[in-house]
Amino acid sequence: MIRILLILILIAGSVVASYSLTDDRYGIQSQEMLREIEADALYASSTLGRNHIDKRVMSALAKVPRHEFVPAYLRPSAYANKPLPIGHGQTISQPFIVALMTDLLQAKKEDVVLEIGTGSGYQAAVLAELVKKVYTIEIIKELGESARERLVRLRYRNVEVRIADGYFGWEEHAPFDAIIVTAAAGHVPPPLVRQLKPGGRIVIPVGGVYQVQMLMVVTKDKSGKLKTQQVLPVRFVPLTGVDRRE
């Protein structure tokens, strides 16, 4: 009996050790990802006007298990500083771009944020670490449903996912303190501008599939007047939808 107990203890110890090694591996990769983000921010400092990403954003990136948001076969590359395919012709953005767009949003703890383009749910999870509530819209049903299940499983209770055309925003929960769009639009969608609070900002890549896309920040002042700022050239999958009659 004692021998059986010893064997069971050894087996249990091996299981714990294997999980520990897995966690350590991802932890090391996550730290390397953060270092690369900081290096990219330093490299792009002349364009960005500063040489770092806000500490709150970096802390959020450190907390979110990026390997949970990519297909299983890509988990060894989950923390590489590059975009990765997630199916249906879509990608999870490069970590530096996620960090930069989140930083540009300047979201505060009590903010309510709208995201257009849920994808696998990674950007929503990062935002969930920073703000009060995240509403996120995905037009591809399969991606939206799997992202919803993933976010629930990972206990991101302040994120709500909707399957819809994000071009039209989410009127029921407007106005929003900030809006982030994770696909390239030919122009800034007017419904999103209307659903943005005065004093809020939209971070969005603008440009066609075969054109130079520009990451832009659109701010709305207290009177409703808009100001746009070009940040840097980017490359995103296009914002898709069925109706553009605005």
Q: What is the CATH number of the domain that holds 166?
A: 3.40.50.150
Check if the beta carbon of residue 195 is closer than 8 Å to that of residue 178: no
* Residue 243 forms part of a structural domain: no
Residue among 161, 166, 167, 79 nearest 120 (CA)? 161
Q: Which tokens in the block code for residue 24?
A: 């350590």
- Per the DSSP assignment, residues forming a β-bridge with 229 are 217
Quickly state the pLDDT bin for 17 (edges 50, 70, 90): very low
With a cut of 50, say whether residue 209 has pLDDT above it. yes
Q: Give the range of the structural domain holding residue 218, as residue numbers without chain letter.
A: 2-234
* Residue 240 forms part of a structural domain: no
Catalytic (active site) residue 93: yes
pTM of the predicted model as reported, rounded to 2 decimal places: 0.87
Helix-strand-coil percent breakdown of the chain, rounded to 5?
Answer: 45, 25, 30
State the total domains in the chain.
Answer: 1
With a cut of 90, say whether residue 19 has pLDDT above it. no
* Residue 40 forms part of a structural domain: yes
- CA 144 vs. chain centroid, Å, equals 14
Q: Which tokens in the block code for residue 69?
A: 């948001």
Question: Of 20, 45, 46, 93, which is the active-site residue?
Answer: 93
Question: What stretch of H or E contains 56?
Answer: helix 55-63
What mean pLDDT comes out for the span 142-149? 98
- Per the DSSP assignment, residues forming a β-bridge with 238 are 184
